[in-house]
Chains A and B, each alone.
Chain A
């Protein structure tokens, strides 16, 4: 077993023990961290491995969350096994539709266009009757995980929810690991480091990028669904651009293109949020100042990914 493998198993073991020793508040907080970790992982596929900096990733998180809000019957429990795949599917389809337009453009355009389309989704849920306006939708009855008459776990129990979401996180992590080792994942990383060369090698770059965008959207939808499941309500703020900015921040905090960095970043972000908001109601001031200080103080901190980005974002080609 490698050192990384030992560290990973150790972390997993500690995570499994955590809800048995921690108070409910901390179990729920850890659940929130894991949901955000799934969200950040989905963005890592896009930003860290495909070189597409999306500033509108919250849209698909929101679509996944709203899928549960809209599909759940008012006075009955929704079924997890039906609504969960539906949420992932809807988020994936939304990302596929937007992706078909946005992966045509590069660099700074890509950032602006993803943000603008995310704002469009925000307005769809905020302004129309379909999305029930700015108050959002509360999910009155917790969904159930029934298969026929068998109910393997209880979604009203925070420990059960914790393990469900832990399983989802591990699943997403393993899925991305395998995906990135597959020929498809290798091609994505090739596009990230040199798009021109991949194109000249005959790879259909557009389709690869689109697939990456759709998969990332679907996984973000999963995270959104789980968030709606945990908190029991959805509102347009889930799609707001703060959400998109924060998830990008998590990814940078933890490190791009490493997968586990997304998990670490989600943890660091929630820790920062908790500490700052316990100090003052104007905690976003501290968060903003921290972000600025971070970018200014660590010019080489993002060095490993810098060159890769410059190439894919500005469209510069490799010289060698």
Chain B
């Protein structure tokens, strides 16, 4: 592997890792703050990707589709939290698992009813539809760089939101003591609803910007969900930093695994998880 192919794989790995972070951060936030295990989180990624496909076809522009889709997904998140998830907070994990499992089946079938079971590709916007030449034969698509940049911006915004704003303070307080926060006169239900909608929107947004690279296909949510579980287990539940670190680790391990050990590529991330479990069963980053 020469320097340029190494560089390409490195960038791909980072880009994949950052994308995973967007999905996994929502998963870990929803668990860390509301104590809910959400199996349907991957479905939001799938919903996002299909929204990008349908809305881009409808409006003719991926940017419009992403903006519109994000708004719709925030609304979807609020509606789901109101109708279903708000009833799950005091329930045990087994019921949460079952309900969200049912939700996956519903989302997959609705997807099949509305869009069908075909694989669709989504066009890269013209603005980013070019590549940076590295050597005579190798080049790097600008859209992937753009994706990474957007993910980094979102990660920074997420950090600022949680660490530096009043809302973030409420979120952190709500994670450690729900009753106390309520007693202080903060509407914790509203905070939960916002966090849930934020998680849904992050996952869906990841699906939307990934659609031109990965295309949209049935079952795409499940794959991402399970990898995100691996990310959360490695990073430590409830830890945003852990999710970021583990996402990049998994992104790089998976990307380089596919190049260097194609036979074992599907298994590498799980082996990594097994090693971390042996070494630190609580995950690399304890909850902050």
Contacts and interface: CB of A to CB of B under 8 A. Distances in A.
Contact of A292 (B93, B94, B103, B237): B103
Contacts of A296: 84, 87, 99
A252 interface: yes
A53 B97 contact: yes
Contacts of B99: 291-292, 295-296
A284 B108 contact: yes
B222 A241 contact: yes
Interface residues of A, number: 47
Contacts of B101: 245, 248-249, 288, 291
B273 A284 contact: no
A102 B277 contact: yes
Residue of A53, A107, A285, A290 ringed by the most chain B CB atoms within 10 A? A285
Nearest to B265: A127
B102 A289 contact: yes
B105 A306 contact: no
Interface stretch (A22-30, A116-124, A143-151, A220-228): A116-124
Nearest to A292: B102
B229 A287 contact: no
Chain B interface extent, by class? 35 or more
B266 interface: yes
B87 A112 contact: no
Nearest to B109: A285
B111 to A, nearest CB: 10
Nearest to A309: B92
Interface in A267-299: 282, 284-285, 287-292, 294-296, 299
A162 B193 CA distance: 52
A105 B274 CA distance: 12
B261 to A, nearest CB: 12
B91 A299 contact: yes
Contact of A291 (B105, B222, B273): B105
Given A299-B91, A309-B92, A116 B97 contact: no
Contacts of B270: 116-117, 119-120, 123
A108 B104 contact: no
A302 interface: yes
B93 A282 contact: no
A60 to B, nearest CB: 16
A112 B105 contact: no
- Rank and list the top 4 A-B pairs by shortest CB-CB distance, nearest first: A288-B105, A291-B102, A123-B266, A285-B109
26 contacts: A102-B277, A105-B277, A108-B93, A108-B237, A113-B273, A113-B277, A116-B226, A116-B229, A116-B270, A119-B226, A120-B271, A124-B267, A241-B226, A245-B101, A248-B98, A284-B109, A287-B102, A288-B103, A291-B101, A292-B84, A292-B99, A292-B102, A296-B87, A302-B92, A306-B92, A314-B93
